[in-house]
Structure 1
Amino acid sequence: MEALANLKNAKRTWRFGIFPLFANFISISFLFTLPLFKLSQNYPPFLPLVLSVTTSVCAFPVISDNLLELNLITSELGQIALSASIVSEVVHWAYITISTVALSPTWMYFTTSYLAFLCFAIFLLRPAMYTIAKNTPAGGHVKRSYVVLIQIGVLAAGVLTDLLGLTFLQGPYLVGLVMPHGPPLATTIVDKTELIISHFLEPLYFCYIGLSVDVFAFQSWSRILKLQFVMFVGYVCRVLVSTLVALSYDLRPKHGVILGLMLNIKGFIEVFIFTQLRALKIIDDEMFTNLVFCVVETAAITSPLIETLYKPHKRLASINSKKDENTIIIRTIQNTQRNAELCVVSCVHKESEVRGMIAILEALNPTHANPIVAFVIHLIELRGQSTPMLRRVNLQNRKPWSINFHLNYPSTTKIARAFENIFHNSRHSDVVTVIPYLNIAPYKSMHHSVCNLAHDMSVPLIIVPFSPCDRSHHENHAASTVGILVDRHSRLGLASPAYSFQKEEEQCSEDEHDEDDDEERMMDDWMVEEFMAKKFGNGQVVYHEISVEGGTEKVFEMIKCLEGNYDLVMVGRKNKLEMLNDDVEGAFSNFFENAEMLGLFGDMLSSTEFCNGMVPVLVVHSGENKVKQQQRRVGNNQLYVKQSRVNSRGRWLS
C-alpha cells in the first residue's frame, strides 16, 4: 500500500482510530484488575496486558479483506474504517516498539538495529524497487528474476529482523510499506504469489488452527465465560465510543454503530498472535481455544450486522440535516436547466474508448451559453494495493509523489492528456472543461465512487463504456441519467464535426401492452411531443414514427429492417424478458447475452446482427426508476429535485 497517501487520508479521521482503541484497551485492562475477572496464577502476570493490546488493535489487513468481501471497501463508512485502522496500526506498532526498547536490557542494540533496518528499507530498498518499476515498459511485465529476488528478499527481511531482536513480522511489513503500489511491480508480485498464498498456504494454516483447537481442554466453564464477557465488554465499549466520535463529526449515531462494528472485525492476524503465545507457553490449550472462539464469534456477529444495517448507496447525512436519510436527490437530463452549464461524468476503462467518449461529448454541442464540465474518470481494477482510491489527476504537478503516480499509471496520464489536448486545440476550447480523475476499486463496487462523485458535483449525466467484466451496475445505483456506450467496432469519432444525437430517431410502439406501462408510455409521448415542438422545422432533424402490430417478434423484425447509415443509436434500458414466449426467445437467443445490463432492445441493437456491430449504441437509463422504487416505500413527500450545480472549477453554485 502507499503509506504516505493512506496516512494523509487517515489524519482527517484520526479520532476513530484513537478513542475506540483506547476505550477497548482501558475497559479490558480494568476488568482484568478486578478480583472477579483476574486470570489464573498459572499464567504470566503480563498476560492481561498482552491480551488487552492484541484485542484492542484494529488490524488493517483483516478489515480490508472483510470489507472487500462485503463489497463495502469503496463505501464512505468503509473508507473511514480503513483510515481509522491505519491510525490504530501506527499507534500499535509505536507502542510495541517503545515498550520493547524500555523493557529490553539491550535497548541500545535494539534501537540501533531497528533504525539501521529502517534506513536500509527507505534509502536503499525503496529506490531499487522504483528503479525496477521505472525500467519496466508501460504495459509490460516485470522480469522474472526481479520477482523471485523480491520474494526471497521478503523472507530474508523476516529472518533479519528476527536476528536483530525485532519480531519477524516487522521485516516483511516494512518491505511492503516501501514497495511502490499498483502497476507494474506490486500487481506482478500479487499475481505471482496470490494463488499459492490464498489457495494453498492460507487454507493449510487454517486447517492447522482447527486441529490445534481442543474443546476437551476446557476445565472450568466459569473461566471461559468470564473471558468471553471481558472481550464482549471491550467490543461494546468500542462501539459506544465510535458512536460518540461519530457525533463529533456530525454523523448519525447509526453510522457510528456501524463503524464500531467494522473496527471490531477480527481475523487471521489475531489468531496468529494467539498461536505465537501458545508456542511460547504463555497461554495453554484452554486459553488458546477460548481466544479462537472469541475471534470466530466476533466475525460471525459483526459481518451479518454490518451487511444488514449499512446500505452503501445511501449517502452519509448530517445529524442536523433536515432531510431524512431515505430522501433521494434526483438529477437527470430531463430536469436540467437549459442554457446552463452541463456537468457530465465520462468513464473510461482503456485508451481505445477515449475516441468514442470524446465524440459523445462533442455531440452534446457545447456552446458559450451551454458549456460542459467533463469529469473524466479512468476506471482501474484494484490490484497490487489494499485501499481503493479516487484521486484527481494534476498533469502539471511535478512533486515526487505525482511523478511516481505518473510512473505507476501511464495510461491514466495518456487518457487525461488526450481529453485535454483535443478539447483545448479544437473549436470547443472555451466551452469544455476537462477534470480528470483516477478511480481504483474492485469492479463489483466501482460504482460507489462514481455515483458519489456525481452526487457531490450535481452531475445529471453519467456515461460509462460497456464492459462484460464490469458488473458494478452504475445504472441501478445512480440518481442520475446513466448512458452505457456499446462501441465495439464502430468508427465513432471519425465522422464529421456536425455529428449530433438527433441525426435520426425512431420510435417503435406496440399495440399490445400491459396496464403497468401506461404511465411510461404517456411520459414517452410527452417527450416526443416536446422534442417535435422544439425541433420541428429544423432541416437538420428528421423524425420518423413507426407503429408495429403483431407482437414482439414483429418489433424485432422491423428494427432489423431499419439498418442504415447511423452514427449513433439511442435506446432506453428496459428488461421485459418475461413477455417473450419460448419460440421468440429461442429465435433471438443471441440477443440476450447482456440483457440484464443493456435491456432487451439495447442488447439486440448492440449485437453483431445489427449493422454488423459497426454502429455504436447508447443505452440510456434514468434515475427515475430508482425514484419510483423509493416512492412505493416512503411516499412522494420525501422526494425532490435539486437544481444546484458546479462551475468549471468545481465550486458549488446555488
Structure 2
Amino acid sequence: MEATHKFVCQDDLTNPLSSMAIQVSCILVISHFFNIVLKALGQPGPIAQILAGLVLGPTGLCNIPDVRKYFLPASAAQYYEMFGFFCRILFMFLFGLEVDIAYIRRNRRVVCMIACGGASIGAIFGLISSFFLRQYLLNKKSPMNAKYVFCMMLFLAYSATPVVNRLAAELRFATSDIGRLAVASALVIELACILVFDLLILFSTGKSSIGNAFLILVGLVLVLVAFRYLATWLNKRINNLKYLRNPEVFLILSILIATSMLIEMSKFNSIIACFLAGVAFPKEGKTARTLLHKLTYSVHNFVLPVYFGYIGFQFDGTYFRSLSHILIVLVLVLLSLTSKIGGVLAVCHYLKIPLSEGVFLSFVLNLKGHADLLFVGSASKLLFDWDAVAYNLLVMTIVINTVISGPMVAVLMKKEYQLFAHSHTTLGTELVEKPENELRVLGCVYGPRQVSAVLSVIATLRGPQTAPIMPYLAHLIELQQKRRTNVSYHELEDDELSDEDEYGGNDVVEIHGAVDAFTKETTILITTIKAVSTLPFLYEDVCTAAEDLRATIILLPFHKHQRIDGKMESGKEAVRTTNQKILRHAPSSVGIVVEKGLAGAVGFAQLTRVDTVQHVATLFFGGPDDREAIAWSTRIANHPRINLTVIRFLPSESSNTRNMRVESEKGNNDIEVFMALSSLEMGNDIDNAFLNDFYNGYVASGKVGYVEKYVNNGTETVAALRDIGDLYALYIVGRGGRGHSPLTTQMSDWEECPELGTVGDLLASSDFNVNGSILVVQQHRHTNKDPIDD
C-alpha cells in the first residue's frame, strides 16, 4: 500500500516509471484507434502506431506544457532507452527463430544483389551529401572526419527489418515470392549496416575494444553452444506437457538478456548477437515451440506497437519552423527514396525482374526504424557530436521516410494484386520444372491417429533429400460451443472458461511427440498450427490458412480408419462433411489419405533405412485429377527409398490400334509409337501429351516404371486392380474429372464415398482387399462448381 502510494500518489507526478507506463498505455490505445480507421483504407498497423506516437509526441499533445512535463521528464531518457533495449532483444531473437535461412541460402545471389543495389546507391548518396550538409548537421566545434561520413552513408543505406517484417505480416505478403525476397534483402542490409557500425566503433575506441570484441565473440559462441545443449535437455526433460514451464523460459531469456547486456556494456550493439542466437537455436522440439508460442503474442501485440510508437513519438515538428530545416529533411528523404529506387531498379533490370516488382521492393527497402536511431544516438555518444538540431532533423527524416513508404507499399499491393496472389495452386503445370523447386504442403489432422499417415505422405512428397519443402501441420479442433454473451463471467461453465490455447488436451502432446520424432528421423522441420472452430465452419480456417501460407497441396485424413479385423470403421460424420467442403472450396490441390493395409501408409521410419525400398503405384485413367496425381508422382519418384510405377488403364481397342501402328512404323522408336495412339477426344490428346513429357523425363531414364493395362469395362478394371492389390504400399489415383469413361462408369454402382471418386472409393472399401494405403488427388478447381454439389 505504501509503495503504491509513493509510486502514484506523490506531489511530483513526473516519476519516470509511472509516466512511461502511462505513455505506453496511451500509445497502445491511440494506435488501436488509428488502426481501426486506417485498416478500412488498407493501411498496415505499423503506420497507425507511428501516427499514435506523433499525436502523443512533441508535435502533438506534448506541445502542452503540463503534458510535456509529465510525459517527458528529464530523468526518463534512460528508462526509455532500457525499455527499447529489451524490446530489441526480444524481437530480434524471435525474428531469428522465424527467419527462413534455407530460402536465403538457396537464393543468396538474388537476395545479396538486391540488398547491394538498395544499399550501395544510398551509401554513395550519403557520402556526397555529407560534404554539403556538414555545416547543418555537425557541431561547429567538431571537425569533419571519416566517422561522420560513414554514419551518413549508413543512415541512407539502412533498411529496417522489424518494420519490413511486420508490414509483410500485416499486409499478408510475407509468404509470397516477392515478399520473401523483400524481407530477406532487408535483413541482409540491416545486418551489414550494423556490422559496419560495430566495426567503426571498434576501430575508434582503441586497442582495448579489440580485446573486448574477441572475448565477446568467444562468449557468444559458448552461449550458442549452451543454448543447443540446453534445448536438447529441456526437450527430453518433460514429456507430458505441451509447452515448457515458465521457469525454463525465464532461464533461456535470462541468459539471452545477460549476454546482450554484457555486449552493450562493452559499447557494442547486441542486435546481431540476438539474431544469431535465434537462428542457431534448435528449431525442433518443445523448447523452440514454447518460445515461439510465448514470444509471438507478446512481441506482436505489445512490444512492436510500442516500438513503432516511439519512432513517431520522437518526431518534433517544431523544428519545421525554419525553411532551411524543412529543406534539409526534404533533401534527405528524397536522397533515401531515389537511392533505393535507382539501386533496386538497376539490379532488377539486370536480373530481369519485372518493373512493378522492382518498384515494390524499392519502397519496402526504404522503410526506416529503430536502428537508424541507434546510429544517430550512439554516434553522438561514442564517435562525435551531432548538433542538437541535426539529431532531431535526422529523426524526422526517419519518421517521414517510413510514413511515406508504408502507405505506398499498401497502394502498390492493391494496384499489383497479381504479384501477391496465390499462384502455385497445382503441381500439374510444374511437371517439367526442376525438382529443387520449393513445395508448400498443409497437412491436416483431427487427432493423433491420423498423424502418421499424413506425415508419411509429406515425407514421400519431399522427393530427393536436397529438395526444399515447407510443410505445415494443422491440428483441426472442434469448438464444442461458443461462449455465451448474455451471462456474467462467473456464470460460465468450465468448458466456456477455457482459453483457445487449452483446446486439444492430450492430443496436442501426442501430435507434438509424433512431429518431433518425424523431424528427428527425416530432418524435415514441420511447423504446427492450430485451427479451433465449430465443425460447420472449420473448412473456412483450413482454406484461409492454405491461402495465407500459399500452400500448393492440402492433405486431409479420411474419416474412416481400419480396425484390427481389416474392416473400415467410420468416425465422425462431421469430419467427412468438413473434408467435402474443403474439396469444394480449396484454393489449391487436395489429397485425401486413406490409411489401409497391415503395413499402413509408407512409414517415414522405414524410409530412413538404407535397406528398405517402398513400392508405390500411380493409377492413370485420364482427366485433370489423374494428371495432377502424375505431377505429384514426379516429386515422389525422386525419393531415394521409393520405387514408383505408373499404371495406365486403356480400352482394349487402343491395343489393336497400337499393334497396327507398330507394324506400319517399325523404324520409329518406342516414344514415337507411344504418341501414335489414336484419339478422338480432346481430353485424351491432353493426356497423351502430358504423359509423353512424363515418359521422356522419368520413364525413359529409368526413374519410373511404366505399365499399360487394357480393359473393356468397369468389371475388368476391378479385376485388374485386384491383381495388383498386394504389390504396393501406396496407391495414388485422381479423384475424378474423367467424364463418362467406359473404364470406370460401371464401378460407380457400389460407390459409398463420392469424395474419393470412383476408383478411390473402390480401393478404400472394406470389401476390396488392398494391402496398401491410398492417396486420392484432386486438382485445384478454378471454379466453385464441384460434383459433390449436385
Q: Secondary structure at the match of 2:321?
A: coil
The amino acid that maps onto 1:18 is: C
CA distance 1:22–1:111, change in 2 (3 Å): same
CA distance 1:286–1:114, change in 2 (3 Å): same
Q: Which structure has the bigger radius of gyration?
A: 2
TM superposition score normalised by structure 1: 0.55
CA distance 1:620–1:182, change in 2 (3 Å): same
The amino acid that maps onto 2:193 is: H
CA distance 1:43–1:416, change in 2 (3 Å): same
1:19 to 117, 129, 132: 117
Aligned to 2:345: 243
CA distance 1:474–1:187, change in 2 (3 Å): farther
Output the CA distance in 2 between the equivalents of 1:292 and 1:476: 41
Q: Is this contact kept in 2: 1:262–1:306, CA < 8 A?
A: no
Output the CA distance in 1 between the equivalents of 2:457 and 2:220: 51
Matched-pair identity in %: 14
Residues 420-569 of structure 1: matches in 2 within 5 Å? 446-447=546-547, 463-464=555-556, 477-478=587-588, 482-483=589-590, 493=596, 530-531=739-740, 533-536=742-745, 538=746, 541-543=747-749, 566-569=752-755
CA shift for structure 1 position 22: 0.9
Output the CA distance in 1 between the equivalents of 2:426 and 2:293: 41
CA distance 1:130–1:64, change in 2 (3 Å): farther
CA shift for structure 1 position 75: 0.9
The amino acid that maps onto 1:84 is: S
Q: Is this contact kept in 1: 2:372–2:398, CA < 8 A?
A: no
Q: Does residue 781 of structure 2 align to residue 623 of structure 1?
A: yes
CA shift for structure 1 position 235: 2.3
Q: Secondary structure at the match of 1:142?
A: coil
Q: Does residue 131 of structure 2 align to residue 30 of structure 1?
A: no
Aligned to 1:379: 472
Aligned to 1:58: 159
Task: For residues 538-592 of structure 1, give each alpha carbon's deviation from its aligned partner in whole angstroms, at most 9, with x where no partner exists.
Answer: 4xx2449xxxxxxxxxxxxxxxxxxxx9345469xxxxxxxxxxxxxxxxxxxxx
Q: Secondary structure at the match of 2:203?
A: helix
Output the CA distance in 2 between the equivalents of 1:112 and 1:496: 56
2:324 to 207, 212, 222: 222
Aligned to 2:210: 108
Q: Secondary structure at the match of 1:95?
A: helix
Aligned to 1:85: 186
Aligned to 1:157: 259
Aligned to 1:292: 399
The amino acid that maps onto 1:23 is: I
Output the CA distance in 1 between the equivalents of 2:528 and 2:234: 22
Output the CA distance in 1 between the equivalents of 2:269 and 2:180: 29
CA distance 1:464–1:57, change in 2 (3 Å): farther
Q: Is this contact kept in 1: 2:422–2:550, CA < 8 A?
A: no
CA distance 1:54–1:449, change in 2 (3 Å): same
Q: Is this contact kept in 1: 2:186–2:365, CA < 8 A?
A: yes
The amino acid that maps onto 1:379 is: Y
Q: Is this contact kept in 2: 1:475–1:621, CA < 8 A?
A: no
Q: Does residue 280 of structure 2 align to residue 178 of structure 1?
A: yes
Q: Is this contact kept in 2: 1:72–1:312, CA < 8 A?
A: no
Q: Secondary structure at the match of 1:349?
A: strand
Query: 28-37 vs 139-148, which deviates more?
Result: 28-37
CA distance 1:355–1:140, change in 2 (3 Å): closer
Q: Does residue 446 of structure 2 align to residue 348 of structure 1?
A: no
How many corresponding residue pairs? 449
Aligned to 1:551: none
Q: Secondary structure at the match of 2:353?
A: coil
Q: Is this contact kept in 2: 1:274–1:291, CA < 8 A?
A: no
The amino acid that maps onto 1:120 is: L
CA shift for structure 1 position 151: 1.9
CA distance 1:168–1:136, change in 2 (3 Å): same
Q: Does residue 172 of structure 2 align to residue 71 of structure 1?
A: yes
CA distance 1:207–1:242, change in 2 (3 Å): closer
Output the CA distance in 2 between the equivalents of 1:307 and 1:221: 36
Output the CA distance in 1 between the equivalents of 2:519 and 2:280: 28
CA shift for structure 1 position 76: 0.9
TM superposition score normalised by structure 2: 0.46
CA distance 1:29–1:310, change in 2 (3 Å): farther
Q: Is this contact kept in 2: 1:58–1:263, CA < 8 A?
A: yes
CA shift for structure 1 position 53: 0.7
1:39 to 133, 137, 140: 137
The amino acid that maps onto 1:531 is: H
Output the CA distance in 2 between the equivalents of 1:219 and 1:31: 23
CA distance 1:412–1:136, change in 2 (3 Å): same
1:8 to 90, 96, 105: 105
CA distance 1:162–1:381, change in 2 (3 Å): farther
Output the CA distance in 1 between the equivalents of 2:519 and 2:779: 26
Residues 593-604 of structure 1: matches in 2 within 5 Å? none
The amino acid that maps onto 1:85 is: A
User: RMSD between aligned alpha carbons?
Assistant: 5.3
Output the CA distance in 2 between the equivalents of 1:127 and 1:330: 41
Q: Is this contact kept in 2: 1:242–1:259, CA < 8 A?
A: yes
CA shift for structure 1 position 103: 1.4
Q: Is this contact kept in 2: 1:113–1:164, CA < 8 A?
A: no
Unaligned residue ranges in structure 1 (runs of 5+): 317-327, 337-343, 362-374, 383-407, 421-434, 455-461, 502-526, 545-564, 572-617, 628-654
Bigger share in helix:
2
Output the CA distance in 2 between the equivalents of 1:132 and 1:417: 16
